[in-house]
Structures are given as C-alpha cells and as structure tokens.
Amino acid sequence: MTSPVIHIVDDDVSFRTAVARLLQASGYEVALYESARQLLEKPLDLEPGCLLLDVRMPGLSGPELQARLANTENTLPIIFLTGHGDIRMSVRAIKAGAEDFLSKPVSRKTLIEAIQRALVRQEEARERNLRLGSLRALVATLTPRESEVFALIVRGKLNKQIAHELGTSERTIKAHRHAVMQKLKVASLAEAVSIAERIGILAVASGDEPGGT
Amino acid sequence: MRASAFNTRLLENFRLWCHKLLANMLPQLSSIANEKLCEVNRRLDTALNNMSQGLCMFDSEGRLVLCNERYIQMYRLSHDAVKPGCTIRELLALRKVCGTFQGDPYEYSTNLLARIAEGKTLRETVEALDGLVTVIVDRPIEGGGWVATFEDVTARRQLEHERDRGQKFLNTIVENAPIPIFVKEASGLRYVLVNRAGEQFWGVSRAEMIGKTSHDVFPKEEADLIAVRDQQLLRSDQPVVDEREIQTPRNGIRSIVSRRLTVCDEDGKSRYVVGVIQDVTERKLVEKRIAHMAHKLIHLNRTAIAGVLSASFAHELNQPLGAILSNAEAAEVLLTANPLNLCHLKEIIADIRRDDQRAGEIIKQVGGFLKKGDEIELQEFDLSDAVRCAFHLLDHEAVTRGVVLGVRQAKVALPVRANEVHLQQVILNLAMNGMDAMARCDPGSRKLTLETAWAGDTDAEVSVSDSGIGVPADKLERIFDALVTTKPQGTGLGLSIARTIIEIYGGKIWAENRPGGGAVFRFTLPLAKTRAA
C-alpha cells in the first residue's frame, strides 16, 4: 500500500510549511494548497490520505470547501485546524462529517493521533467498501428471477409462499433457492440474510427507493 | 431811594463790600464822585435787583439799610412792608406771617445781633416748611452792621439728594453683586473698594484690604504677579479680560476670569483700577470631569472594539504560534535522524525566529491599540500609517465576515498631529459599522475600502466606503449624535465617540450615501505641515 498523502489547505504560508515539515519528518507525504480553490482545481488523488483544512481563509472558507467536497466522490476524511474556533463552528463541522476539529497551535502528538485515527477509519471504510463491493458482485451474478427469490427468502418467506407470490411452482422456487445459495457461497439462511442486510436489500423492501452503487 | 440821605460812612462800607462782591460789575464804583451818586445808586439798584441771591444790609442796630427784589420774592414779602429802617425782628415777624420763617423772631434776632457784634460771620442752611432750602450768610461789615445773603439751594439740594440716592443705589448693587469686585487707586495701587462677594472669594474682610496693597493681602508670589499685571494695565490703558489661576489669601487656588480696566475720577486725573472677577473653579472642575468621562468612554469603546476583534486577534496570533510549535517539533524529529540535515534545521530555526517576531508584532499592535494612555497627546505621524494599522487589525475580521477589504493610500505623506491610537479607533469604528451594514448583502458583493487623500491644501482626508445598505437620508445628519443608531444591536456610541475624537483634534466628520449604493464616511484633519511646505 502507498504511504498516505496529507493534503494541507491553509492560506498562511508559514503555518502550511511548518506543518508540512512536521508531517514529512513523521513519515507522511504531503500536498500543499494555499487556497480551497487551488485544491478544487484538479481531481484529488483519492486514497489513502486525509485533508487538513484551515477554517478561515479568504475566498472559500474551510467549511465551504467541505460542503463542495460532499457533492463529489471524495472519501478523504477532513480534519479542521483553526486559529480560533468556537463550539458552534466545531459542532457544525463535525455534523457535516468532519473527522476532527483541532485548534492551532496543535501539538505533534494531537495532530498525528488525529491523522492516524482518520486514516484508520478511512482504511476501515475502504475495507468495508471493498467487502461490500465483492458481496455486491456476488449478488450481481444472480439472474433477475433468482434476485426476486433471494429478496423473498431473506424476509423469511417459505418456498410455498414465494411460489404463490411469483405465480410458479414450489419445485421451481426450490431450485432457484439452491442456485442462490450456491452463487452467494452461503450454507445457511442466516448467512444469506447477513449479505442482504449489508448490501441494503432489506432496507429497500421497507419502501424506500433502491439506492447504492 | 433814601440811600443818599444816609451817612457816607455806611455807604463807604457798603461800597467796599460791593467791591468785593461785584468787582467786575461795577468797577466804576471805586472812582465815584458825589455828583454822580444818583446815577451810581440807580445802577446799584439794577445790579442788586438782578442778583440771583436775596440780599439785605442792616446797620449795627439791626435796621434794614437796603434789600433787593429777590429777597422780597424769596420770602413772599410785600414791597410795602419792607422798608429801609424796619428792624430785623420786624422782618422776621413778617416772614413768620408769610410762613417763611419758623423760629422765634425775638430770640433769633437777638442771637444774630450778638454774633454780628462779635464780628462773626454766620452761615446756616434753613429748610422751610414749604420745602424752600436757603443758605443764609450773615457777614459783618466794617464799622458795624452786616450784609445778609440768601441763596435758594432747593434745586441743588434735590440734585444732591438724587445723586446720593443714585450713589447708594449703585453701592447696593456693587455690594450685593454675586461676583467679586474691587477698586484700587492707580497711584499707590491700594484697595479703595471691595464688595461682599470679594471678601468671601479672597477669604479676607474688607477691613483687612481697604487702604492696603496686594502685597499686604496676597502671598508674595501672587502679589508680585498682581503688581506686574496692574502696571501693564495702567500702561496700556486698555481693558483686559483673561483667564488664570489665582492664589487667594485664604481660599486656596481658584480659577478665574478677570476683567480689569482703568477709570478716571470726575476731575479726570485720579485714576482707578477696577476689577471684576468671575470664579470659574467649579466650571473648570466640571469641564475636567466631563473630559475625564469622555476619555473613559473613548477607552471603553476601544475595549469594545477589541472584544469584537478578539477572535480575529487570537486567530492571527495562533498562526505564527502554530507554525512555531510545528517547526520546533519537526526539528525535534529531524534531530533524531542520522545523518543530520543541518541546512534543513537552520531553515526551520530561521522560520521560528521570523514567526516569533510576527507574533510579537501582533501583540504590540493589539497592545498599542488597547493601552490606557488616553491623553490628548499630539504626536506627528502619517495618517496613512494609522489607516494601515487599522487595516491589519481588521484584516482577519473582514475574512471572517466575507468582506473584501481594500486600502488606497495617498502617494505622499499626510502628516497630522494627534494621538495615533485614537485615530485608529475612529477608523475601526467606521469600518466595523461598514461591515455591519453589509452583513445581509450578498457575500460576493461585500467590499470595504479605506482611503487616504489630500483635502485641499491644509487638510488630510480619510474615507471608509462600504457596499452596504446605506444610511437613511433622514439619519445622515443625526447619525453622529449619541444614542442614534440604525442597527438593531447598536449602542449608538461608536460614531458619537468617533466625532468626539475627530473634533478634539480639530477635524470634521460626516457621512454620505454613495450614488452606486452603500455609504461613505469621511473625516478630515488639519495637516501638520501645509501642502506647499
């Protein structure tokens, strides 16, 4: 795995440089931006890494940049750094998904811990996403009919009920169920339900619009 | 007239008297000849009867020798009754009947004759029942007898009374005037008049002042000064009004406005120094207290501004502090490397030093802005420097509020004399008002510009223009009055304090609405050097 890149966005050149030095000395790769706009100019090198954002900057402020990034593919965790933060500002940032909210001056320990926490979480999320992706890939191998059967099985429907619901014979459903279990590489109904839950199939049936990737 | 029949001795005596009394009228009497006696008598009669005084002549027995027309009129006697030869007692009795004599004729005439016999001149002023006031002089003449003159002084008396009344009236006014008044005679500069307020003011009774010089009354230092001032006044002869502090004999130091002038007496020679004093000590104290309060308000306003800006100050200060900490910790990590990258470490140390200076500058700036020194001290400085300082203090606040802050400075120096911190405060007040006025405008359109420029040849101008909502036309004039505000949370003190400060330094401040929207606040200050210099 490549070493994580820390993206530092701060209009104060002195601070930007100092933090970059500290992080480099601590073994991170850094990318420096003097404004939010500069960061937005080209697509971010997505993973792994995190964003260190100054709150108060001329032009786009830190929170404004956060809002812009929320509408993109960005998965980089955001750590805010502020010269003078208040509680309201930090609550707002955290609610909007920020990983952390730190005050300048920030000690190496605090900063690195925050970065590490963010990176671990990002890694976890990445792995979760990867697993989710492979599950989705498995589910994607189901035929449309098998998908329908799968959706009903995981809701605890009996073969007979499913056959009735889909207007076919119980025997046919039995064959579909077997194929589904094989394709999803599960041995029990409990495992199948777990997959369904993780990829959000159960939620879909509660009436919401199907979503997900 | 039977005068010619009287003995010549008597006539000669009368002639001598007439010579004294009427020397200018009748010089020819000295060369009188018997044959001309009748003519002379006629002239004498004419002269006597045209006198303004009443006149009678008596012989040593008290018998009337002659009297003039005025006498008869004055005492309302009849021509028939008054004949030469009638006695003084008879005349007095007649006058008593006419109501022009009140005493006892016998007693009076006896006394009179006795005094005349002693050769004494009698003078008395007699006031009759009808208000007639006469001065009577009975003057013995050589060889016996006497001449009596009667002068009607009723009118003069009245004038004198009126004058006395007027004098008394004026004295009462002077005495009761609530302001200290004194008069000194010019030659020896001794006090001749001191009123009651004066006694109280100096804490000295008039008995201790009248007839004394200021050296007898005042402490020496003060007396010396008074003497010098009196001499100056007498030399210039012009009234002087001035304000000063005086050390009174028993009332401590007082602040006074003194008006002094010289006046002449009726004779036009003797001169006096007249002084009227207004004790303004209390007023001065009140003025001082008001000034003190104004200073306190100015300082409070500055503290309030600093409170609003404190977040910005903290932010600005934490930038270098944050950089210093990160640099130091980076250096710590780098020191564990082998081999050491000394170049890199040197770079870091240089940066730490620079950031430390930067932090120091910020603290100095804020500290300077908050320092208590609120004296109206006059330093000469470039007005553009004050604007630049204000710009730095505002920089972060503007970023926070999404305001684009601009500054345009005159190309040449604008030297003014004032307390620089006070002027920064004015600029900050105006700028924060401008930012408040833009709070509800579209974030992209918030612009605040500070500008300095020449205003004519003698003034420098600072303008603070915003792109906000402008000032309601009816408030443009009043907006600098205390407690007038257009903001929901405004105290209405910021602009009033700004005006107070600008006026202290002899400037003017006003507001205008910009044609394109927004407002511009301007103030001017007199330049320390004119443009040509």
pLDDT at B1 (0 to 100): 45
B239 at the A interface (CB within 8 A)? Answer: no
Is A83 close to B315, i.e. CB distance below 8 A? yes
Tokens of B516: 């394109």
Task: Find, in chain A, the residue whose alpha carbon is nearest to that of B327.
Answer: A18
**What are residue B519's DSSP bridge partners?**
B513
CATH class for domain B177-279? alpha beta
**What are residue B125's DSSP bridge partners?**
B135
* Lowest-confidence segment of B162-166, B459-463, B489-493 by average pLDDT: B489-493
Answer yes or no: is A207 within a domain. Answer: no
Q: Which residues of chain B have a CB within 8 Å of the CB of A111?
A: 326
Answer yes or no: is A126 within a domain. Answer: yes
User: What is the SS3 string spanning chain A?
Assistant: CCCCEEEEECCCHHHHHHHHHHHHHCCCEEEEECCHHHHHHCCCCCCCEEEEEECCCCCCCHHHHHHHHHCCCCCCCEEEEECCCCHHHHHHHHHCCCCEEEECCCCHHHHHHHHHHHHHHHHHHHHHHHHHHHHHHHHHCCCHHHHHHHHHHCCCCCHHHHHHHHCCCHHHHHHHHHHHHHHCCCCCHHHHHHHHHHCCHHHHHCCCCCCCC
pLDDT at B307 (0 to 100): 83
Between B530 and B383, residue with greater pLDDT:
B383
User: What is the SS3 string spanning B438-456?
Assistant: CCCCCHHHCEEEEEEEEEC
pLDDT at B291 (0 to 100): 83
Chain B: nearest CA to A85, how far in angstroms? 8
A119, A51 Cβ separation under 8 angstroms: no
**What are residue B405's DSSP bridge partners?**
B448
Answer yes or no: is A85 within a domain. Answer: yes
Answer yes or no: is A203 within a domain. Answer: no
Is A15 close to B322, i.e. CB distance below 8 A? yes
pLDDT at A45 over 90: no
Answer yes or no: is A119 within a domain. Answer: yes
Clarify whether residues A82 and A173 are in a common domain: no
Task: Find, in chain A, the residue whose alpha carbon is nearest to that of B341.
Answer: A25
Output the CA angle A45-A50-A51, nearest 5 degrees: 95
pLDDT at B470 (0 to 100): 82
Size of interface A-B (CB pairs under 8 A): 87
Clarify whether residues A151 and A99 are in a common domain: no
How do the domains of chain B map onto residue ranges? 49-153, 177-279, 282-375, 377-533
pLDDT at A212 over 60: no
Answer yes or no: is A155 within a domain. Answer: yes
B353 at the A interface (CB within 8 A)? Answer: no
pLDDT at A21 over 90: yes
- What ipTM was estimated for this complex? 0.74
Nearest to A18 among B312, B316, B326 (CB): B326
Clarify whether residues A20 and A87 are in a common domain: yes
B37, B8 Cβ separation under 8 angstroms: no
Is A108 close to B333, i.e. CB distance below 8 A? yes
Between B311 and A171, residue with greater pLDDT:
A171
Q: Which CATH number do you get for residue A111?
A: 3.40.50.2300
B525 falls in which pLDDT band (50, 70, 90)? very high
Residues 6+ apart with CB under 8 A from B466: B434, B435, B437, B438, B446, B447, B448, B449, B518, B519, B520
Task: List the 102-161 stretch of B: residues with Cβ below 8 A of A.
Answer: none
| Average pLDDT of the residues in B331-335 | 93
B357 at the A interface (CB within 8 A)? Answer: no
pLDDT at B373 (0 to 100): 61
Answer yes or no: is A148 within a domain. Answer: yes
Task: Find, in chain A, the residue whose alpha carbon is nearest to that of B331.
Answer: A22
Is B314 close to A26, i.e. CB distance below 8 A? no
**B65-B70-B72-B74 Cα dihedral, nearest 10 degrees:** -130
Q: Which CATH number do you get for residue A164?
A: 1.10.10.10
Is A18 close to B314, i.e. CB distance below 8 A? no
pLDDT at B346 (0 to 100): 93
Answer yes or no: is A210 within a domain. Answer: no
| Average pLDDT of the residues in B125-150 | 86
pLDDT at A117 (0 to 100): 92
pLDDT at B6 over 60: no
Chain B: nearest CA to A57, how far in angstroms? 7
pLDDT digits (tens, 9 = 90+) for B254-291: 999 999 998 887 776 668 999 999 999 888 888 888 88
CA–CA distance, B77 with B483 (Å, rounded to integer): 89
Select from B308, B310, B317, B318 the residue whose CB has the most chain A CBs within 10 Å, as the one to mutate to test that interface: B318
Clarify whether residues A114 and A166 are in a common domain: no
Clarify whether residues A163 and A60 are in a common domain: no
Tokens of B514: 């910009």
Clarify whether residues A161 and A64 are in a common domain: no
Chain B: nearest CA to A48, how far in angstroms? 23
What percent of chain A clears pLDDT 90, i.e. is strictly above it? 23
Nearest to B330 among A21, A103, A106 (CB): A21
pLDDT digits (tens, 9 = 90+) for B219-262: 999 999 999 999 888 888 788 998 999 988 888 899 999 999 98
Is A14 close to B355, i.e. CB distance below 8 A? yes
CA–CA distance, B89 with A64 (Å, rounded to integer): 132
Clarify whether residues A21 and A117 are in a common domain: yes
**Rounded to two decimals, what is the model's pTM?**
0.58
Select from B312, B317, B319, B355 the residue whose CB has the most chain A CBs within 10 Å, as the one to mutate to test that interface: B319
Mean pLDDT score of chain B, rounded to an integer? 85
Nearest to B318 among A25, A26, A83 (CB): A83
CA–CA distance, A53 with A100 (Å, rounded to integer): 10
H-assigned helices in B50-179: 69-74, 88-98, 105-117, 154-176
A104 at the B interface (CB within 8 A)? Answer: yes
pLDDT at A55 (0 to 100): 86
| Average pLDDT of the residues in B85-97 | 89
Q: Do domains B49-153 and B377-533 have the same CATH topology?
A: no
B435, B397 Cβ separation under 8 angstroms: yes
Is B320 close to A14, i.e. CB distance below 8 A? yes
Task: Order the strands of the B122-127 sheet from edge to edge.
Answer: B64-67, B54-58, B146-152, B133-140, B122-127
Q: Which residues of chain B have a CB within 8 Å of the CB of A110?
A: none
Clarify whether residues A57 and A92 are in a common domain: yes
B113, B88 Cβ separation under 8 angstroms: yes
Nearest to B329 among A14, A84, A108 (CB): A108
Output the CA angle B480-B514-B483, nearest 5 degrees: 15
pLDDT digits (tens, 9 = 90+) for B379-434: 888 999 889 888 988 888 888 888 889 999 888 889 998 888 889 999 999 998 88
Q: Which CATH number fits domain B377-533: 3.40.50.300, 3.10.110.10, 1.10.10.60, 3.30.565.10?
A: 3.30.565.10
Is A17 close to B325, i.e. CB distance below 8 A? no
Residues 6+ apart with CB under 8 A from A24: A30, B330
Is A22 close to B327, i.e. CB distance below 8 A? yes
Superfamily of domain B49-153: PAS domain (3.30.450.20)
Which of A99, A131, A163 is the last residue before a domain boundary? Answer: A131
Clarify whether residues A109 and A10 are in a common domain: yes
B5 at the A interface (CB within 8 A)? Answer: no
Query: Burial letters for B451-465: b for 16+ Cβ neighbours within 10 Å, e otherwise?
Result: bbbbbeeebbbbbbb
pLDDT at A85 over 80: no
The size of chain A, in residues, is 213
Nearest to A22 among B311, B329, B396 (CB): B329
A110 at the B interface (CB within 8 A)? Answer: no
Clarify whether residues A159 and A127 are in a common domain: no
Give the count of domains, chain A: 2
pLDDT at B489 over 90: no
Q: Which domain holds residue A168?
A: 141-198
Clarify whether residues A158 and A111 are in a common domain: no
pLDDT at A93 (0 to 100): 85
pLDDT at B297 over 60: yes
Query: Long-range contact list for B475-480, CB < 8 A, 24+ apart?
Result: B476/B511, B476/B512, B476/B513, B479/B511, B480/B509, B480/B510, B480/B511
Between B300 and B7, residue with greater pLDDT:
B300
Nearest to A15 among B323, B330, B333 (CB): B323
CA–CA distance, B528 with B505 (Å, rounded to integer): 11
Place of tokens 């009118």: B155
